[in-house]
């Protein structure tokens, strides 16, 4: 199997609903996002997934959410803005972006999005 991955950073705010002390107030993080794709085969160029395409699509998404209050996004209307749900949101947006580019999603056997909210805390969404 082949793995290819990229990472990038963005700043955004969120707050939690429930009994989470200061986490219930809007606060900002500088997040690190990692996007990994796993394939069994390489394309005619010798790529599992074109890294330049991955970088472009991740940057496009980051530009949309940079500096935003994530709670205001439609995806989080009925979801807690946890790091786990953020990873799911980013995964869904990136898969949709690849689909718009007519990328053959069948060649990808696993997608992983990992979000770091600090140097020691992260969550991931893995789809296989």
Domain ranges of the chain: 2-127
- Quote the pLDDT of residue 105: 86
- Quote the pLDDT of residue 104: 81
- Quote the pLDDT of residue 102: 82
CATH number of 2-127: 3.30.479.10
DSSP H helices in 7-120: 51-65, 83-100
Long-range contacts of residues 78-83, Cβ cutoff 8 Å, at least 24 apart:
80/16, 80/17, 80/18, 81/14, 81/15, 81/16, 82/16, 82/123, 83/115, 83/117, 83/121, 83/122, 83/123
d(CA 59, CA 53): 10
The helix (H) or strand (E) run that includes residue 111 is: strand 108-116
| pLDDT, tens digit only, all 128 positions of the chain | 999 999 999 999 999 999 999 999 999 999 999 999 999 999 999 999 999 999 999 999 999 999 999 999 999 999 999 999 999 999 999 999 999 988 888 889 999 999 999 999 999 999 99
């Amino acid at each position: 199997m082949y793995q290819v991955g990229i990472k990038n950073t963005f700043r955004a705010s969120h707050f939690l609903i429930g009994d989470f002390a200061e986490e219930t107030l809007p606060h900002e993080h500088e997040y690190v996002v990692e996007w990994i794709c796993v394939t069994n085969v390489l394309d005619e160029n010798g790529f599992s997934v074109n890294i330049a395409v991955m970088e472009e699509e991740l940057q496009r998404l980051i530009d949309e959410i940079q500096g935003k209050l994530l709670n205001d996004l439609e995806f989080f209307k009925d979801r807690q803005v946890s790091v786990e749900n953020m990873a799911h949101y980013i995964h869904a947006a990136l898969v949709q972006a690849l689909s718009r580019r007519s990328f053959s999603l069948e060649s990808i056997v696993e997608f992983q999005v990992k979000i770091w909210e600090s140097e020691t805390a992260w969550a991931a969404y893995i789809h296989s």
